[in-house]
A and B are shown apart, each in its own frame.
Chain A
Amino acid sequence: MPCMTLDSTALAKVARDLSGQGRRLVLPVREGPELFYREGADPEALDLATIPKNSVKEFFFPKCDTILKYRYTGSEVEVEDVTPPVEPTVIFGARPCDAASLSVVEPLWNWDYKDKFFNLRRENTLIVTYACRRAPEEACFCVSVGVSPSSEDGADVLLLPLDEARVAVKFLTDAGREVQAVFEAYKTGEADDAALQAFAEEGTVSLSHRKKLDKVQGWLDKHFEDPLWEEKTFQCIGCGTCTFLCPTCHCFDIQDESVFDGGSRLKSWDGCQFSLFTLHTSGHNPRNVQPQRYRQRILHKYGIYPSKFGKILCTGCGRCVSHCPVNLSLYDVVATAQERAEKGE
């Protein structure tokens, strides 16, 4: 089915119009040498050159969230439930790996407890995905984990930049179709199925050097103890960069912060690469050295999470590869596990 196209110069105007309909606007903008998704930026600053350094995670699961408030009166404690202030939001120009991350983590936030903090924000956010004509970064490996450079997963509207000048637009959900008129106002033409097909192929071909990581889970089941963990992770310095930039990492810490007679309970990002993450009150730490902590990250993403929720907890965005301060590549580690599984090791 043919779909509409518009000029790439109209994208900033569409973002402005969507925001003009009473939505908080989040879009990628340039800060120094890198891009970041930022809230409230000028639509004219829209920059779609590459994948932003932060993920869209922070707009659904912020780095610090107040989840309840309390007040002491004598020995009585009064607890006030908190509903997060949520406004209708559009994330304009999310990359496919970011949009896909939302459907990866949705079952987690709705597993036993239905997390209203995530759900309210998710329900109120329109995702306009900007597909990748070719892999934007050397570290990209989305095709390895079942995502593609033109993935529709998680998107309400999908933008496909067919060339420098033309962008095809697909409306994928009811929420997406509701804003169709905003895009139609800038329509300049149509793209046929062949053009869309060619676009999707170009993206996939640009990542044809990447391995499918379909045997990693089985390998992990049998190699909890393996020399690979130490061999590959010497350089890890135990910072949280990989987990905090990751669109799917979702661990958090809970802290009560009190001032005099009351305070707040805060939920803040935490990460499995920290030594304190598993430190017991007794002083025992089951993950006492960094290779064990790195193994945990891989196990959770490629073993535990898929066995529980049926999806790999990774969308191949490559941030943990690009931005690791010591160039420890997660892809390199899991691709090695895959290779060894293929050899029957």
Chain B
Amino acid sequence: MSDRTERIREIARKWLADGAVEAVVGWAEGTLGGRTAPVLIRKAEEADRLVWNEHCTNNLMTYLKRAPVQGMASVGIVAKGCDIKALVGLIQESQVPREKVKILAVTCPGVRGAGGTVPVKCRACDVQTPVFYDEIAGEKIDSEPDPEARGQELAKVDAMNPAERMAFWRKELDKCIRCYACRQACPLCICSRCIAEKNQPQWVETSPHPRGNFSWNLIRAYHLAGRCVECEACETACPVNIPRMLLNRAMARTVKEAFDYEAGRDPEVQPPLRTFQLGDDNSFIL
């Protein structure tokens, strides 16, 4: 058993025994090799079900918007640095009161993606030792983010001419089956009724044909502009392997260039698309 696992259990056990939280959301052993499963621990004596390993890929912040966690007065949540960025977003947007969540941070050397690959977010990670938490498990890790990691895939799309780019997205988005796993896995897709499910009027065609798929995938990307923390939960969940992080990273890059803002950094800072300042650059509309 790793030191991190032991420490996570110890902290969770204490929080539950002290009544500091109603429950702790963490990762447990999965039913398949190379997988873990999100778990809700309600009793101190069940804390030993919690584990930490390189397969703890899920961003557990998505459970904050769901029953039964949503209805709890206080909850502990085990989180990597990248997951905590999502919580920062939720706090900024007044979706979750800071005092409700006790963050059981874990220092993370990186998780594994499909086929044992190293996800882009891990190569680019600068929060291997989280900075925003209540308790922390694991030895401090000095992050050495690869500055090229986030741009490498985007560069391939940037290099395409408009016709090639259209053909690329047409092929990728044609695959969409409208299962909405991307939205469901996303910690920041917070609408209780998604625009894709509104039919008076129907903003987005629900049918998985090219027109409907473009509408859905692009509107989701726009709704995450300046909000997406690049945790990759959507891309990991996608059953048809659409490279949807390309859209999210392109939006993040634009927001960075326009507002010098990166999502998920500081709960005290107002996100640019939620505020208006007289000095804002309006040249793009005027």
Binary per-residue interface labels of chain B (107-122) against chain A in the complex, 1 for a CB within 8 Å, 0 otherwise: 0000000110100000
Binary per-residue interface labels of chain B (83-120) against chain A in the complex, 1 for a CB within 8 Å, 0 otherwise: 00000000000000000000000000000001101000
B118 to chain A, nearest CB (A): 13
Stretch at the interface among B35-43, B129-137, B221-229: B35-43
> Taking the complex as formed, is B254 at the interface, i.e. its CB lies under 8 A from any CB of chain A?
no
Assess the A241–B179 pair: CB atoms within 8 A: yes
Assess the B36–A257 pair: CB atoms within 8 A: no
In the complex, what residue of chain A is closest to B55 when comparing beta carbons? A327
Known: A31-B241, A268-B206, A268-B208. A138 touches B32 (CB 8 A): yes
Known: A234-B39, A327-B37. A239 touches B240 (CB 8 A): no
| Cβ-neighbour of B31 out of A32, A63, A321 (below 8 A) | A321
> Taking the complex as formed, is A139 at the interface, i.e. its CB lies under 8 A from any CB of chain B?
yes
Assess the B32–A239 pair: CB atoms within 8 A: no
Assess the B205–A257 pair: CB atoms within 8 A: yes
Find residues 1-55 in chain A having any chain B CB closer than 8 Å to their own CB.
Answer: 31-34, 53-54
Assess the A327–B241 pair: CB atoms within 8 A: no
Binary per-residue interface labels of chain A (234-252) against chain B in the complex, 1 for a CB within 8 Å, 0 otherwise: 1101111101110000000
> Taking the complex as formed, is B184 at the interface, i.e. its CB lies under 8 A from any CB of chain A?
yes
| Cβ-neighbour of B36 out of A54, A239, A266, A327 (below 8 A) | A327
Interface size class on chain A is 35 or more
Assess the B31–A240 pair: CB atoms within 8 A: no
> Taking the complex as formed, is A329 at the interface, i.e. its CB lies under 8 A from any CB of chain B?
yes
Assess the B184–A238 pair: CB atoms within 8 A: yes
| Cβ-neighbour of A240 out of B63, B66, B179, B209 (below 8 A) | B179
Find residues 150-173 in chain B having any chain A CB closer than 8 Å to their own CB.
Answer: none
A318 to chain B, nearest CB (A): 9
| Cβ-neighbour of A268 out of B114, B185, B207, B237 (below 8 A) | B207
Assess the A234–B236 pair: CB atoms within 8 A: no
Find residues 1-56 in chain B having any chain A CB closer than 8 Å to their own CB.
Answer: 30-33, 35-40
Assess the A266–B67 pair: CB atoms within 8 A: no
For B217, list chain A residues within 8 Å (CB).
Answer: none
Assess the B181–A239 pair: CB atoms within 8 A: yes
For B185, list chain A residues within 8 Å (CB).
Answer: 237, 239, 325-326
Assess the B38–A240 pair: CB atoms within 8 A: no
Assess the A239–B39 pair: CB atoms within 8 A: no
For B207, list chain A residues within 8 Å (CB).
Answer: 64, 255, 257, 266, 268
Instruction: Report the Cα distance A255→B233, complex, angstroms.
Output: 30
> Taking the complex as formed, is A90 at the interface, i.e. its CB lies under 8 A from any CB of chain B?
no
Known: A235-B38, A268-B207. A325 touches B240 (CB 8 A): no
Assess the B37–A240 pair: CB atoms within 8 A: no
Find residues 315-345 in chain A having any chain B CB closer than 8 Å to their own CB.
Answer: 321-323, 325-329, 331-332
Assess the A241–B181 pair: CB atoms within 8 A: yes
Instruction: Report the Cα distance A71→B40, complex, angstroms.
Output: 53
Instruction: Report the Cα distance A216→B125, complex, angstroms.
Output: 46
Instruction: Report the Cα distance A238→B177, complex, angstroms.
Output: 15
Instruction: Report the Cα distance A253→B196, complex, angstroms.
Output: 14
In the complex, what residue of chain A is closest to B58 when comparing beta carbons? A326
Instruction: Report the Cα distance A331→B184, complex, angstroms.
Output: 22
Instruction: Report the Cα distance A326→B35, complex, angstroms.
Output: 9
For A33, list chain B residues within 8 Å (CB).
Answer: 114-115, 117
Binary per-residue interface labels of chain A (60-88) against chain B in the complex, 1 for a CB within 8 Å, 0 otherwise: 00011000000000000000000000000
Known: A268-B207, A327-B32. A63 touches B237 (CB 8 A): no
In the complex, what residue of chain B is closest to A58 when comparing beta carbons? B177
B90 to chain A, nearest CB (A): 16
Binary per-residue interface labels of chain B (201-216) against chain A in the complex, 1 for a CB within 8 Å, 0 otherwise: 0000111110000000
Assess the B239–A244 pair: CB atoms within 8 A: yes
For A239, list chain B residues within 8 Å (CB).
Answer: 179-181, 183-185, 237
For A329, list chain B residues within 8 Å (CB).
Answer: 31-32
Assess the B31–A269 pair: CB atoms within 8 A: no
A28 to chain B, nearest CB (A): 15
Instruction: Report the Cα distance A34→B38, complex, angstroms.
Output: 24
In the complex, what residue of chain A is closest to B69 when comparing beta carbons? A234
> Taking the complex as formed, is B178 at the interface, i.e. its CB lies under 8 A from any CB of chain A?
yes
B191 to chain A, nearest CB (A): 12
For A229, list chain B residues within 8 Å (CB).
Answer: none
For B209, list chain A residues within 8 Å (CB).
Answer: 64, 266
For B144, list chain A residues within 8 Å (CB).
Answer: none
Assess the A63–B208 pair: CB atoms within 8 A: yes
For A269, list chain B residues within 8 Å (CB).
Answer: 177-178, 208
Instruction: Report the Cα distance A53→B241, complex, angstroms.
Output: 10
A268 to chain B, nearest CB (A): 5
Instruction: Report the Cα distance A289→B206, complex, angstroms.
Output: 22
> Taking the complex as formed, is B62 at the interface, i.e. its CB lies under 8 A from any CB of chain A?
yes
Known: A244-B177, A290-B67, A329-B32. A234 touches B40 (CB 8 A): yes
For B142, list chain A residues within 8 Å (CB).
Answer: none
In the complex, what residue of chain B is closest to A276 when comparing beta carbons? B197
Known: A33-B115, A34-B241, A244-B239. A321 touches B32 (CB 8 A): yes
For B62, list chain A residues within 8 Å (CB).
Answer: 237
Partner-A contacts on B (CB < 8 A):
30-33, 35-40, 58, 62-63, 66-68, 114-115, 117, 177-181, 183-185, 197, 205-209, 233, 236-237, 239-241
For the A-B complex with A53-B241, A240-B180, A328-B37 known, give 4 more contacts whose Cβ atoms are closer than 8 Å.
A239-B180, A241-B181, A268-B206, A327-B36
- 12 A-B pairs with CB atoms under 8 Å apart are A33-B117, A138-B33, A234-B68, A235-B39, A239-B179, A239-B237, A241-B239, A290-B67, A323-B239, A325-B181, A325-B185, A328-B37
List 10 A-B pairs, minimum CB-CB distance, nearest first. A239-B181, A240-B179, A33-B115, A325-B237, A239-B184, A327-B37, A235-B38, A329-B31, A237-B184, A327-B30
